[in-house]
Amino acid sequence: MRILLFVVFVCSMLVSLSIGGPLDACTRRRPNCNPTADYLVVGTGAGAPLLRLLTDNYDYSAIGFEAGDNFANDPLIAESTNVLGIGGHAVKYNYMMKDVDARDLSLGKMTGGSTSHNGMQYTWVSPAYASIWQQYGGNEWSPAKIFQAFKDMENYTAQEGSASSTRGTSGHFNVRKPITGPTSGPNSLAYVLANWTSHATGIPINPDYNNPNGTPFGPFTRYQMSQTPDGKRESSWTGFLPESILNADGTAVGNRQLRVYYRAKVTRVLFRGTTAIGVSYLIDGEEQIAFARKEVILAASVFTAQILQNSGVGPADLLNELDIPVVVDNSNVGANLNNHPSVFLPFSVNSAHLAGVLPNDPAALYAGGGYFPSWSANGPVNPSQIQGPRKYQLGWFLFPGSPPLMFVSYLQPKSRGNVVIQNNNPLDPPFHDEKMLSNPDDVNDFASFLYYFAQNTVMDYLHSQDPNYGFLSFVPRWNSVDDAKAYLLGSFQRAYHYTSQTRMAPSAATGVVNSSCKVFGTSGLRIAGSTVLPEPADGTLAAPSIMVGFKLANMLIAERSH
């Protein structure tokens, strides 16, 4: 009888440590039976490449936690032409949160995170930004290693010709450079805008702004898009965890030791001393616990700082005030938050140049754009800035039901905000305060760019070439930088590019994670995604965020092979 009871006990323990079908039954019907895996990954945006690569070797297991649901096959998500319609279903696809200024925060609450509902623009960091990253992260984050990671993870399709040798063509993540719609033909809107902008600024058209051997600056006729070769949306989820790897219900295909839980809200990291041993999470309204044999990895975007603070990792004064036991005192957790302030400037065009724009074309949302340095009455503020990092992003947007828009985004702001939990209830949203444009240097630089570049250089040149081009009446002509400053302060918006709240740095004195993405003062706990970027990204955010997850996965694989 004792032998039989022992066998039953052992079998029950094996079930509790497994993943897949038995695990699902365990966690939902037997609360005391806690799932365990080598790696626990919180979030499926930057977390998707970690879940994929860490389990490609079937000797290792991983559990992923996604607070939203799996909408990978939802037509509104999968069809690129529906990108603007996602906002009309905010409750279904997004976290319904606001910042301290009552502005909406755009955050994807679904598999793939915000890569499943963003505008699909795909931009590597520039060589100059990569050099800055190396100053914070050491040689592991040198430009050569950063660009190798970008190359290894992508499958780049350049429809106008063969891709450069600097771009990847065999990675998991599809990137497409389309030529259809507004970017087709010498008389199309995209070619007209790119050529005239080039003539106005003296900066040549850039055939590949992601080529690390070229320049990251200049106008271009087409954005590179996170899309499959046939124009469907590519998210980090569809790229790294397609149905050949993971079933729609979150169970693994074949013998891969992988499981992803949907509608699973992670509330805290569990510690033994300062060693992370698991997470607490809510699923179907019940609190559950999962354990990690090796490591817990937070890839939860803006919620990463909140989870850390709720777990006792953060500013000790705040944690003590909220009666949260302090595990690690680090005032940088939640600090250094930044975002890209942006403006939309409506303008008129020659309707003949809109002939190639079709509402059912995956490329039709954008008629190209460009990346530029700061600008003055004499052109670039400092000619050396042409080597980067990029200071401004320009986009020509063609949203249905709206006039064409010149989109201008400031990529290197000095203003810094923070993320702070408001109480010790992990389900309450944190205070999210970006303090956008609070630094006067940001306002002066941005206003100068709007006045000297957007109006006096580009739009005035376009108007001189064709009187049909010009800003519409509700963008009054600015007579000075001060006029542009007043317009900026009354009209700026967020680009939803949240970074650096748990940034990488040489020590805990200036950051939260080291060059291996390990949280200072802890063991068994790492962070992936945009929150570890040391400074604001000098482009859109999807590519560097996914790259951090991809690179960290390869670092972990290299570590366990030694």
Reported as a single tens digit per residue, the pLDDT across 203-216 is 999 999 999 998 99
- H or E segment to which residue 546 belongs: helix 542-560
Tell me the per-residue pLDDT of 131-171, one tens digit each, with 9 for 90 and over: 999 999 999 999 999 999 999 999 999 866 656 789 999 99
Give me the CATH number covering residue 551: 3.50.50.60
pLDDT at 162: 57
Query: What proportion of the chain, given as a percentage, has pLDDT over 90?
Result: 72
pLDDT at 8: 31
Is the per-residue pLDDT at 1 higher than 60?
A: no
* Overall domain count for the chain: 2
Number of C-beta neighbours around residue 482 at 10 A: 11
Q: How far apart are CA 530 and CA 540, in angstroms?
A: 11
Q: Are residues 362 and 483 in the same domain?
A: yes
Domain-embedded: residue 58: yes
Domain-embedded: residue 66: yes
Q: Are residues 300 and 407 in the same domain?
A: no
Domain-embedded: residue 78: no
Q: Are residues 354 and 451 in the same domain?
A: yes
Q: Are residues 296 and 384 in the same domain?
A: no
pLDDT at 149: 98
| Cα 314 → chain centroid | 23
Domain-embedded: residue 146: no
Q: How far apart are CA 539 and CA 242, in angstroms?
A: 27
Tell me the per-residue pLDDT of 312-331, one tens digit each, with 9 for 90 and over: 999 999 999 999 999 999 99
Q: Are residues 248 and 396 in the same domain?
A: no
pLDDT at 328: 98
Q: How far apart are CA 383 and CA 531, in angstroms?
A: 31
Q: Are residues 408 and 328 in the same domain?
A: no
pLDDT class for 348, splitting at 50, 70, 90? very high
Two tokens at 484?
Answer: 């542009």
Q: How far apart are CA 105 and CA 305, in angstroms?
A: 16
Q: Are residues 484 and 513 in the same domain?
A: no
Domain-embedded: residue 472: yes
Q: Are residues 406 and 542 in the same domain?
A: no
Is the per-residue pLDDT at 2 higher than 60?
A: no
Tell me the per-residue pLDDT of 430-478, one tens digit each, with 9 for 90 and over: 999 999 999 999 999 999 999 999 999 999 999 999 999 999 987 889 9
Is the per-residue pLDDT at 30 higher than 90?
A: no
Is the per-residue pLDDT at 281 higher than 70?
A: yes
Q: How far apart are CA 562 and CA 300, in angstroms?
A: 29
Q: Which backbone phi and psi does 377 adopt, to 5 degrees?
A: -60, -25
Query: In 3D, which of 263, 165, 253 has the Cα closest to residue 208?
Result: 165
pLDDT at 19: 41
pLDDT at 228: 93
Contact 223, 368 (CB under 8 A): yes
Domain-embedded: residue 119: no
Torsional sign, CA 529, 428, 315, 38: negative
pLDDT at 6: 31
Give residue 6's identity as a one-letter amino acid code. Answer: F
Q: Does 19 or 245 have the greater pLDDT score?
A: 245
Q: Are residues 350 and 486 in the same domain?
A: yes
Q: What is the mean pLDDT of residues 271-279?
A: 98
Residue 200 makes CB contacts below 8 A (sequence gap 6+) with 457, 458, 460, 461, 462
Q: Are residues 302 and 367 in the same domain?
A: no
Tell me the per-residue pLDDT of 350-403, one tens digit each, with 9 for 90 and over: 988 876 555 556 666 788 999 999 999 999 988 777 778 999 999 999 887 789
pLDDT at 364: 67
Range of the domain at 506: 34-73+236-337+500-560
Number of C-beta neighbours around residue 427 at 10 A: 9
Q: Are residues 275 and 325 in the same domain?
A: yes
Domain boundary among 491, 508, 529: 491
Domain-embedded: residue 50: yes
Q: How far apart are CA 498 and CA 491, in angstroms?
A: 19
Is the per-residue pLDDT at 4 higher than 50?
A: no
Domain boundary among 469, 491, 513: 491
Q: Are residues 442 and 471 in the same domain?
A: yes
- H or E segment to which residue 282 belongs: strand 275-283
User: How confident is the prediction for the chain on average, in pLDDT?
Assistant: 89
Domain-embedded: residue 82: no
pLDDT class for 17, splitting at 50, 70, 90? very low
Q: Is 200 left (phi over 0), alpha (psi -120 to 50) or beta?
A: alpha
**Is pTM, for the whole model, over 0.75?**
yes
